[in-house]
């Protein structure tokens, strides 16, 4: 799964790069004005498509630099984020582990799950962790109309508000997929889109040791690490087992685990 997804990403990047490289190559060889003008138009189109594709598929990419994907590398702080919850016992285990290691984290919750477990959502917030929304039902926001995307975003936040969770105005897009229109809606609503430095593909449910090994190199200042405590029917035990060693390693490396707003100096 991991490699297939990476391969698809590389193929997409190569395709869009070719749309830019092709016209550049043509431009260099063209001798006539009309020919050069044609390649220049193609190059402009290719560049626009490249920026658009990067914006949609690259979670932390924004030509206007509005999307944090890591914190300051100076200092000794990093942030762990948990997506797709809250998720019953799995989230409880995460809370217990975080407390044992005096760590704070950030939870991007799915509205539907919040509606099913409002008490748990409140408990996460009450423990001092930051809580943000991860849409209402985890739809890919680049594959639905703007109206549907806006509803996903607004209902997700409404679910948190209804559960009585203090709104941190944080939002994470499912799979990091976004469009320019979605971004405009988020800005209008005063929501901050948060990306991540590294994911460890824990949703593929590899063995705990695999998750821990993938995470190891990212336990360093400034990282925003992506993990998952949801969804409802996923067995997250490999992740929670790996979390234990991630927290221990952070302690050994003297890295303090803080919320995303703390890491970014927002609170």
Which residues form the interface with Zn ion (CB under 5 A)?
A: 83-84, 174
For residue 99, the Cα-to-chain-centroid distance in whole angstroms is 23
What kind and span of H or E run contains 197?
A: none
Q: How far is the CB of 134 from Zn ion (least distance, A)?
A: 5
The nearer residue to Zn ion, 107 or 218, going by C-beta atoms, is: 107
The nearer residue to Zn ion, 203 or 259, going by C-beta atoms, is: 203
**CB within 8 A of 161, min separation 6: which ones?**
167
Q: How far is the CB of 136 from Zn ion (least distance, A)?
A: 12
Strands (E), 20-163: 77-83, 106-109, 130-133
101 is catalytic: no
Of the candidates 16, 138, 157, 228, the residue annotated as catalytic is 228
134 is catalytic: no
The nearer residue to Zn ion, 68 or 174, going by C-beta atoms, is: 174
Of the candidates 16, 62, 83, 202, the residue annotated as catalytic is 83
Q: How far is the CB of 49 from Zn ion (least distance, A)?
A: 26
Q: How do the residues of the chain divide into helix, strand and coil, expressed in percent and rounded to 5?
A: 55, 10, 35
Which residue is closest to Zn ion by CB?
Answer: 83
The nearer residue to Zn ion, 111 or 221, going by C-beta atoms, is: 111
| Cis before 231? omega within 30 | yes
Q: How far is the CB of 68 from Zn ion (least distance, A)?
A: 17
Question: Whole-angstrom Cα distance, residue 137 to residue 140?
Answer: 9
**CB within 8 A of 213, min separation 6: which ones?**
none
Among all residues, which ones are annotated catalytic? 83, 228
């Amino acid at each position: 799964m991991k490699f297939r997804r990476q391969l698809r990403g590389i193929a997409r990047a190569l395709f869009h790069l070719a749309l830019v490289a092709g016209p550049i190559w043509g431009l260099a060889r063209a001798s006539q004005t009309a020919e050069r003008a044609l390649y220049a138009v193609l190059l402009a189109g290719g560049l626009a498509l490249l920026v658009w594709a990067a914006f949609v598929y690259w979670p932390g990419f924004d030509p206007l630099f509005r999307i944090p994907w890591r914190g300051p590398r100076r200092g000794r702080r990093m942030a762990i984020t948990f997506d797709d919850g809250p998720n019953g016992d799995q989230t409880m285990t995460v809370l217990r582990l975080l407390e044992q290691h005096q760590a704070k984290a950030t939870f991007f919750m799915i509205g539907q799950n919040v509606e099913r477990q409002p008490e748990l959502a409140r408990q996460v917030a009450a423990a001092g962790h930051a809580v943000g929304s991860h849409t209402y039902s985890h739809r890919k926001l680049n594959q639905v109309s703007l109206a549907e995307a806006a509803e996903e975003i607004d209902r997700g936040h409404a679910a948190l508000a209804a559960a009585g969770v203090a709104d941190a105005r944080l939002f994470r897009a499912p799979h990091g997929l976004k469009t320019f229109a979605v971004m405009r809606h988020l800005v209008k609503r005063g929501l901050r889109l948060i990306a991540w430095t590294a994911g460890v593909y824990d949703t593929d449910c590899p063995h705990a040791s695999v998750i821990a090994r993938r995470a190891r190199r990212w336990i360093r200042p400034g990282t925003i690490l992506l993990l998952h405590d949801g969804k409802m029917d996923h067995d997250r035990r490999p992740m929670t087992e790996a979390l234990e060693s991630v927290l221990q390693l952070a302690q050994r490396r003297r890295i303090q685990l803080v919320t995303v707003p703390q890491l970014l100096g927002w609170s």
